[in-house]
């Protein structure tokens, strides 16, 4: 299960306002939008090859009027290349009944049709249908593990870069030592052996669980917010860094705790549907909101990581 919701948007005149509306609607469903746009069918075979390998797209948005071709002419090829992907065919000039007739004439199966004025809402409804099929404990449990694993990886990469760049960040490692040695007595000997080395050696001991990793990440991003010049941050980027720190401040409560609960409850079939036993803090009805919270944190950690390694990216370019 993945929080990224892949959208292939075949449209030659899309605008930023529509794109932002679409991203917002995807977030409301509890996902992070990953949108790729092309103006017509040129190069679609290569996209299909990548999709076959990595399942890149969960829905395809196909406009009627495209660059040098019409969507109804392209639709059979799209369905052939993406046989199991949801397709939404839309137009700002042709009514839905006519769109359906076009698709029927081309004998393309499994295509939804919509007028352009409501295709964002129509897309949202299709995404909601996908989300409801994921409301099972096994899927949510796997999602929680995936979210935490990605956040861990993002924080590790960012912190290694920050410690290499700023002595003030490197100097914070003693606080990380105190966290770990005070909490995990059983791995004390292993962790103490790593103190003579750098942050990478400390991470390799596995003594730093996700909560401690996050706590140390907060320390280092606080350093960055106090000394933005060292990390190449503009005033606007600094404000965004501070905003993202606020948005992700409750990571332990909102993500790690939910992951732990999901790992210990069991799913039981009842007359009214599935219920969770083992905790009164989460119910099946909470799954959509949990996904939304998870998606918000993934988004925040990805952007935070990008901000604090800006100079690394520029140097490697």
By CB atoms closer than 10 A (0-12, 13-18, 19+), residue 35 is middle
In whole angstroms, what is the distance from residue 249 CA to residue 74 CA? 47
| pLDDT for the residue numbered 184 | 67
**Is domain 4-132 given the CATH code 3.40.50.2300 in the classification?**
yes
**Each residue's pLDDT expressed in tens, for the chain with a length of 317 residues:** 578 899 999 999 878 899 999 999 998 888 889 999 999 999 999 999 999 999 999 999 999 999 999 999 999 999 999 999 999 999 999 999 999 999 999 999 989 999 999 999 999 999 888 777 778 898 899 889 999 999 999 999 999 999 999 999 999 999 999 888 887 676 667 677 788 888 887 777 667 899 999 999 999 999 999 999 999 999 999 999 999 999 999 999 999 999 999 999 999 988 888 899 998 899 998 998 999 999 999 999 999 999 999 988 777 76
Residue 258 and residue 290 in contact, taking contact as beta carbons nearer than 8 Å? yes
DSSP collapsed to 3 states, 219-288: HHHHHHHHCHHHHCCCHHHHHHHHHHHHHCCCHHHHHHHHHHHHCCCEEEEECCEEEEECCCCCCHHHHH
User: What's the longest Cα–Cα distance across the chain?
Assistant: 73
Task: Say what the pTM is.
Answer: 0.79
Q: Within 10 Å of residue 208's Cβ, how many Cβ atoms?
A: 24
Domain with CATH 3.40.50.2300 in the chain: 4-132
Which of helix, strand or coil describes residue 173? helix
Please give the angle made by the CA atoms of 103, 104 and 108, to the nearest 5 degrees: 60
Please give the angle made by the CA atoms of 65, 113 and 91, to the nearest 5 degrees: 25
Which of helix, strand or coil describes residue 8? strand
How do residues 53-70 score in pLDDT, each as one tens digit? Answer: 999 999 999 999 999 999
Task: List Cα–Cα distances, 68 to 39, 63, 64, 82, 115, in angstroms.
Answer: 9, 12, 11, 22, 21
């Amino acid at each position: 299960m993945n929080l990224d919701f892949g959208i292939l948007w075949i449209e030659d005149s899309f605008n930023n306002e529509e794109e932002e509306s679409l991203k917002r609607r995807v977030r409301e469903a509890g996902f992070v939008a990953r949108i790729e746009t092309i103006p017509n069918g040129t190069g679609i075979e290569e996209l299909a090859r990548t999709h076959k390998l990595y399942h890149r797209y969960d829905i395809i948005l196909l406009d009627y009027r495209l660059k040098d071709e019409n969507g109804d002419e392209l639709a059979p090829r799209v369905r052939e290349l993406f046989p199991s992907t949801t397709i939404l065919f839309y137009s700002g000039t042709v009514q839905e009944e006519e769109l359906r007739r076009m698709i029927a004439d081309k004998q393309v199966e499994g295509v939804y049709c919509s007028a352009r004025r409501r295709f964002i809402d129509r897309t949202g409804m299709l995404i909601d249908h996908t989300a409801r099929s994921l409301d099972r404990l096994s899927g949510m449990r796997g999602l929680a593990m995936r979210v935490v694993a990605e956040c861990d990886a993002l924080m590790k990469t960012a912190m290694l870069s920050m410690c290499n760049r700023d002595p003030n960040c490197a100097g914070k490692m003693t606080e990380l030592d105190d966290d770990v040695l005070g909490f995990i007595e059983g791995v004390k000997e292993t962790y103490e052996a790593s103190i003579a080395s750098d942050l990478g050696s400390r991470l390799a001991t596995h003594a730093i669980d996700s909560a401690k990793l996050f706590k140390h990440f907060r320390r280092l991003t606080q350093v960055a917010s106090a000394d933005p010049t060292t990390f190449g941050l503009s005033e606007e980027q600094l404000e965004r860094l501070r905003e993202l720190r606020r948005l992700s401040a409750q990571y332990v409560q909102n993500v790690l705790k939910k992951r732990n609960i999901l790992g210990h409850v069991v799913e039981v079939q009842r007359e009214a549907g599935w219920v969770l036993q083992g905790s009164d803090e989460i119910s099946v009805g909470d799954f959509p909101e949990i996904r939304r919270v998870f998606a918000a944190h993934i988004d925040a950690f990805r952007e935070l990581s990008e901000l604090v390694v800006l100079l690394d990216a520029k140097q490697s370019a």
